[in-house]
């Protein structure tokens, strides 16, 4: 399992010291903070970490490759338990790293699953 950290200013500072590649300058010449999703290993952008927002800081999948972080993998994102396009994944799946073997198992189980007539 990949490390899973709280998304807050102190944790980010302790783990990254706001150093590249976890903090990069955007096209608008503003600092942007990044991390790696502990499940699908894709880059995530941290929102509200430095520039305060109405809600507590959170991560959202970047949806693209970010310089010097793991390359974006759409295939893994589609099965990520933290993605907004969630598929039918149980709560304990958040401890998994999504790799090709996990996706293949999910597909095989989904293809053979027949809902109970009692529901």
* CA–CA gap between residue 96 and residue 77 (Å, rounded): 13
Angstrom distances, CA of residue 88 to CA of 28, 57, 68, 96, 116: 38, 26, 32, 14, 16
Name the average pLDDT for the chain.
81
Percent of the chain past pLDDT 90, that is, above it, reads 55
Question: What pLDDT score was predicted for residue 95?
Answer: 55
> Which pTM does this prediction carry?
0.71
Report phi then psi at 45, rounded to 5. -95, 135
Q: What is the pLDDT of residues 55-97, one digit of tens each?
A: 899 999 999 999 999 999 999 999 898 888 655 455 555 555 6
Q: Taking Cα atoms as reference points, which of 41, 57, 37 lies closest to residue 49? A: 57
79-100 residues labelled b (16+ CB within 10 A) or e (exposed): bbbbbeeeeebeeebeebebee
β-partners of residue 36 are 43
Q: How confident is the model at residue 101 (pLDDT cuts 50, 70, 90)?
A: low
């Amino acid at each position: 399992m990949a490390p899973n950290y709280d998304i807050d200013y102190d944790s980010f500072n302790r783990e990254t010291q706001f150093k590249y590649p976890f903090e990069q300058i955007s096209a608008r010449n503003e600092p942007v903070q990044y991390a790696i999703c502990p499940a699908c290993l894709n880059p995530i952008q941290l929102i509200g970490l430095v520039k305060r927002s109405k809600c507590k800081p959170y991560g959202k999948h970047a949806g693209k490759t970010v310089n010097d972080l793991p390359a974006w993998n759409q295939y893994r994102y589609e099965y990520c338990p933290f993605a907004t396009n969630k598929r039918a994944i149980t709560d304990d799946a958040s401890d998994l790293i999504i790799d090709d073997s996990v996706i293949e198992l999910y597909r095989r189980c989904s293809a053979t699953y027949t809902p109970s007539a009692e529901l």
